[in-house]
Amino acid sequence: MAGKGVKKKGITVSKDDDFSGWYSELVQKAELADLRYNIKGFVCYMPWAVMSIKKMFAAYEKKLESYGHLPLIMPSLIPESNFHLEAKHVEGFTPEVFWVTEAGDGKKKFEERLALRPTSETALYKMFSLWIQSYNDLPFKRYQSGSVWRYESKMTRPFFRGREFHWIEAHNVFATLAEAEAQIIEDMKITHEMIGDEFAVPIIFFERPKWDMFPGAVKTHAADALTASGKVIQLPSTHLLGTNFSKPFDVSFVDKDGKKKYGYITCYGPAISRIYGAMIAIHGDDTGLVLPFELAPLQVVIVPILFDKTKDMVLSECERIEKMLSGSGYSVKVDARDDKSPGEKFSEWEMKGVPVRIEVGPKDVEKGQAVIVTRHDSNKEFVKKDDIEKTVLDISKKFTGQLKEKQAKNFDGRLIDCETFSELEKAVADNNMVRCGFCSMELPGEACADAIKDKTGAEVRGKRVGKEDKKFAKCVVCGKPAKETVYVAKSY
């Protein structure tokens, strides 16, 4: 059933009533992806999504390079023998690997299977052992942007979860454990600066429990965002690998004392396609997309209200505004199509999430004004022609921050403290994230985590990184003294 205020020309179901149906319509009607490619789990990303995703990649790469990372492009194929050098890693990833076993007409069988990279540790560290020789080579910080492939067995969903996703992965080597731990903190800082500030998506960083760490890691920290469905989506994770990979891959260096030592490795993986999915899911509404100002493919659309007698006059004023705003660096378009009414154009550009709409009719030209409408709050104002540029500038400066503030309140409002298991069950059923007491983040606590998942479908996401202002007396499952305060939610 459609919720209140849903427009027939927009999305036919309410985000609050049916998040899954709403998201599917958003992806289709805003022309973000086409699911009809004939390999399951592989999706065609369409231009409107790709234009934003390219901006996201560029912003993230610029940020990483400002923190001293240098770019690489690595091969997409990894020999199977590389995986077996780190036992936990191969155990964790082998079930998800796509294998290449032959070439040409099928008669050329490879002596060794080649993996389409599910992640690049086993490719990169083979080369790191050649590139790093001396303490003078450290710290060694590299990243690459590209695709990874995983045979995802869960239900796939465009951008959120697929068998091919597009990401950045940074891999770093340090002389000491303290430097590696400092990199983990830096990774989390970068994540907050990019996802929290530039993409306006509220996140919480968690230290994952022992049973939910990246295969081969010493510690895993991951950011979760909360969607309207009550499910979280994991965004960037950063992993302290210690020397677990440097020893089998011989990522070593000769120190100042002339002795061979193994490097301490960290890795960090912002999946841009998944971040995009979270961003459109969290900001979007029952009319369509809402995008941060800087990431919108088109930032300003000008819609002329045309009549035969005044058409040339109105179009001339629209073109003047377009030239002025384009000269100020905005992406601007005059929608002068004559096969659609102004109302149809309004609905289309709202669906596409264009941050600013400027309406110009003959009366506006006579009065020396225009109508300016902002997408995220539907605010409408009449602006004198000499003030249009300043008004758009003011909107552009505030737009993304207002999105961030709104979504932070939504997130906080759906975080529920629970003392008992029955309270936890109700909160999860009501599409909330739960904060509760828990017996242990070490392996003995896995039984309680399994009990939560079996009865509610939710998972223990971990303990919050940084100051935790809430303590509980007992584990919400077993009743033993609570050693940790953890967060629980369903996930994609």
pLDDT band at 152 (very low <50, low <70, confident <90, very high): confident
Residue 14 lies in a domain: no
- Domain's final residue, options 225, 249, 283: 283
Same-domain status, 133 and 240: yes
pLDDT in tens, 366-402: 999 999 999 999 999 999 999 999 999 999 999 999 9
Residue 345 lies in a domain: yes
Same-domain status, 168 and 310: no
Residue 4 lies in a domain: no
State the average pLDDT over residues 131-158: 92
Q: What is the pTM of this model?
A: 0.93
Can you read off the two tokens belonging to residue 174? Answer: 């340090």
pLDDT band at 89 (very low <50, low <70, confident <90, very high): confident
pLDDT of res. 9: 54
Same-domain status, 234 and 124: yes
CATH code, domain carrying 345: 3.40.50.800
State the average pLDDT over residues 341-369: 97
Same-domain status, 204 and 302: no
Residue from 123, 121, 97, 101 nearest 111 by CA: 101
- Is it the case that residue 224 has pLDDT exceeding 90? yes
Same-domain status, 307 and 163: no
DSSP assignments along 45-68, one per residue: EPHHHHHHHHHHHHHHHHHHHHTT
pLDDT in tens, 424-441: 999 999 999 999 999 999
State the average pLDDT over residues 76-102: 87
pLDDT in tens, 248-284: 999 999 999 999 999 999 999 999 999 999 999 999 9
- Is it the case that residue 1 has pLDDT exceeding 90? no
In sign, the C-alpha dihedral spanning 73, 112, 39, 95 is negative
Q: Peptide bond before 355: cis, by omega within 30 degrees of 0? A: no
Could you tell me if 305 and 338 are in contact, meaning their C-beta atoms sit under 8 angstroms apart?
no
- Domain's final residue, options 367, 395, 423: 395
- Domain's final residue, options 335, 362, 395: 395
Residue 476 dihedral angles phi and psi, to the nearest 5°: -65, -15
Residue 388 lies in a domain: yes
Residue 291 lies in a domain: no
Same-domain status, 391 and 432: no
Provide the residue range defining the domain that includes 386.
298-395
CATH code, domain carrying 421: 3.30.110.30
Same-domain status, 444 and 302: no
pLDDT band at 410 (very low <50, low <70, confident <90, very high): confident
Same-domain status, 365 and 440: no
Residue 389 lies in a domain: yes
pLDDT band at 7 (very low <50, low <70, confident <90, very high): very low
| Residues in Cβ contact with 343 at an 8 Å cutoff, skipping those fewer than 6 apart | none
State the average pLDDT over residues 91-105: 88
Can you read off the two tokens belonging to residue 235? Answer: 């965004």
Same-domain status, 231 and 342: no
pLDDT band at 10 (very low <50, low <70, confident <90, very high): confident
| Residues in Cβ contact with 315 at an 8 Å cutoff, skipping those fewer than 6 apart | 304, 306, 334, 336
Same-domain status, 209 and 321: no
CATH code, domain carrying 241: 3.30.930.10
State the average pLDDT over residues 224-236: 90
State the average pLDDT over residues 312-322: 97
Q: Which amino acid is at 424?
A: L
Residue 407 lies in a domain: no
Q: Count the domains in the chain.
A: 3
Same-domain status, 38 and 148: yes
pLDDT of res. 492: 86
Same-domain status, 278 and 160: yes
State the average pLDDT over residues 13-24: 92
- Is it the case that residue 311 has pLDDT exceeding 80? yes
- Is it the case that residue 4 has pLDDT exceeding 60? no
Taking residue 119's Cβ as centre, other Cβ atoms within 10 Å add up to 22
State the average pLDDT over residues 217-242: 93
